[in-house]
Chain A
Amino acid sequence: MFGLTRHQLLGFAVLVVVVIAAPFVLYPIVVMQVMCYAIFAMGTNLLMGSVGLLSLGQAAYFGLGGYVAGYLVESLGLTPEVGIIAGALAGAALGTVFGWLSIRRQTIYFAMITLALAQIIYFFAVQLTDFTGGENGIQGIPRGKLFDVFPLTRDLAIYVVVAVIFLAAFLFVYRVVHSPFGQVVKAIRDNEPRAISLGYKATNYKWVIFILAATLAGIAGGTKAMVMGIQTLSDVGTSVSGLVVLMVLLGGIGTIFGPIIGALIVVAMQYYLAPFGAWVVVIQGAIFMICVLVFRRGIIGELAYRLRAEL
């Protein structure tokens, strides 16, 4: 199915079962948050894994997606699916422009430009209070009715929607990586001059990946705003950009399951470490350091390496 290998198919089956069972065991809200961050991390992983570019400004697209969805639903009374789709399109549009500005740079220069561009968006998020609510954010976003028919007020109802978006995003990313386009992207990652010498405009391929990553961030942000009912300034801040990079590193760059595990760990830590107050940051830091030292390939990356499988 979809060209998944045996190991991947098994992994996907486990994933589906976990997604179905999870809301009966854990807080649905927490699981939904994990899924939203996982979508965000899957996009970021596309950029880090398949073209090897580290962006430090992914929160711009995530935050914009959230603001657009929140605004349309809260202020204009549109339905949730319209909000999320608009969030995705906003992410894509911003990714198109910012991608064009940054994609020709490499390594640290790329990281710095993406960071600077994201800071511009943060600035506007603070300033354009009519749209973003400034420091207060957008409060009380109603979940409304899906297609104006199905009410999403109950956690389980919206859970189904989020789960569908999440699984669809997962299959979508898998398809991108295993498409004719994805094949060229792999070639560019391996040897860019050679790919160019065969007639491929490497920059355009990277740009498309950048836009896809931004789109996924927009979907993730929009969906999260619908789930939580609020959209805050911190969603568009630098620490969220850093967090998503950590999720990718923890899970394993360039793996298809890694971003999900990474998101799970980071969100779980935020919940379970909450009682430690200010120490959270220190404990988080220590756990990250241990993970990076012990699992240099990330958790799924390490597992795939041991099993000699693609995961």
Chain B
Amino acid sequence: MAEAILETAGLSKVFGGFSAVSDVKLRIETNSIHALIGPNGAGKTTCFNLLTKFLQPSAGTIHFQGEDITRLKPADIARRGLVRSFQISAVFGHLTAAENIRIALQRKRGRSFDFWRSDAVLRRYNDRAHELLFDVGLADAAATPAAELSYGRKRALEIATTLALDPVLMLLDEPTAGMTEADVLRIVALIGRIRAGRSILMVEHNLSVVSGLSDRITVLTRGRILAEGDYQTVANNRDVITAYLGTDYA
């Protein structure tokens, strides 16, 4: 069995009596693309919030690269190379597309409290920012405020911003939601290209994207793992068919 980049045990989250995530055991292999699927409200986004510590787990542990990260703060998780995107497109609306990416790039400078220095020092990140914009098809939007981009292009910008940190493990929450067919193909191609040397966990409703990209799939319903395996295994699982399409089809 290949090495795991991320492993959880007994991961649970209770919201005032309601179990959104229960006893989830996830194992993401290094350099794999792992999909997390399930009906609406299954707890996928909650899982992401737990893994990135935007929510504190009610129970369970999270190990990343062999280290226990269950007690870390969200910003520290990101600094270790576990970077997420958001289901609801998250960009910095008042900043241009290029500046959005620079925010990610400049994080690596370390000393980022230098309020006395001119922001001209950030120009050295422009080339890399434009490269990334080009990769996601936003080359023409570099100087456009992010708030003015269409929904699909905001999503593309968000992926580019996440990529700018060169994450070890990327968590993508529905990266292609709300995109046109052409944009979806571009993003799928992009993910295919950037996967080398990194691991990806993604939530995705578009099953053709899932089948085309993922090495392994975990199906979640009502906060619990229902099935796990490669696409064929999962697609033929009776429980999965029932959960997705209702009992009549099973």
Please measure, in the bound complex, the distance between the C-alpha atom of A190 and the C-alpha atom of B109, giving whole angstroms: 21
Could you say which interface size class chain B belongs to? Answer: 35 or more
Chain B residue at minimal CB-CB distance from A200: B75
Chain B CB within 8 A of A275 CB: no
Please measure, in the bound complex, the distance between the C-alpha atom of A189 and the C-alpha atom of B147, giving whole angstroms: 14
Would A197 and B74 be within 8 Å (CB), given that A178-B119, A190-B93, A208-B115 are in contact? yes
Of the A-B pairs whose beta carbons lie under 8 Å apart in the complex, a sample of 22, sorted by A's number, is: A3-B119, A176-B116, A178-B118, A178-B119, A179-B114, A179-B116, A180-B119, A181-B112, A183-B99, A183-B102, A183-B106, A187-B103, A190-B91, A190-B95, A191-B91, A193-B54, A194-B92, A195-B103, A197-B86, A198-B107, A202-B75, A208-B115
Chain A CB within 8 A of B104 CB: yes
Chain A CB within 8 A of B185 CB: no
| Chain A residues numbered 167-217 whose CB sits less than 8 Å from any CB in chain B | 175-176, 178-184, 186-187, 189-191, 193-202, 204-205, 208, 212
Chain A CB within 8 A of B153 CB: no
A2, A182, A191, A200: the one within 8 Å of B115 (CB) = A182
Please measure, in the bound complex, the distance between the C-alpha atom of A182 and the C-alpha atom of B103, giving whole angstroms: 11
By secondary structure, the A interface counts as helix
Chain A residue at minimal CB-CB distance from B117: A179
A99 to chain B, nearest CB (A): 14
Chain A CB within 8 A of B194 CB: no
Query: CB-CB < 8 A to B120: which residues of A?
Result: 3
A198-B78 in contact (CB<8A): yes
Query: CB-CB < 8 A to B218: which residues of A?
Result: none
Would A194 and B78 be within 8 Å (CB), given that A179-B118, A181-B114, A183-B106 are in contact? no
Q: Which 3 A-B pairs have the closest CB atoms?
A: A199-B78, A194-B90, A190-B92
Would A198 and B114 be within 8 Å (CB), given that A3-B120, A190-B94, A193-B86 are in contact? no
A186-B95 in contact (CB<8A): yes
Please measure, in the bound complex, the distance between the C-alpha atom of A176 and the C-alpha atom of B117, giving whole angstroms: 8
Chain A CB within 8 A of B61 CB: no
Please measure, in the bound complex, the distance between the C-alpha atom of A191 and the C-alpha atom of B73, giving whole angstroms: 18
Please measure, in the bound complex, the distance between the C-alpha atom of A85 and the C-alpha atom of B114, giving whole angstroms: 21
Chain A CB within 8 A of B15 CB: no
B161 to chain A, nearest CB (A): 7
Please measure, in the bound complex, the distance between the C-alpha atom of A190 and the C-alpha atom of B91, giving whole angstroms: 8
Query: CB-CB < 8 A to B165: which residues of A?
Result: 198-199
Query: CB-CB < 8 A to A184: which residues of B?
Result: 103, 106, 112
Chain A CB within 8 A of B238 CB: no
A199-B122 in contact (CB<8A): no
Would A181 and B90 be within 8 Å (CB), given that A175-B118, A198-B161, A199-B78 are in contact? no
Please measure, in the bound complex, the distance between the C-alpha atom of A198 and the C-alpha atom of B106, giving whole angstroms: 10
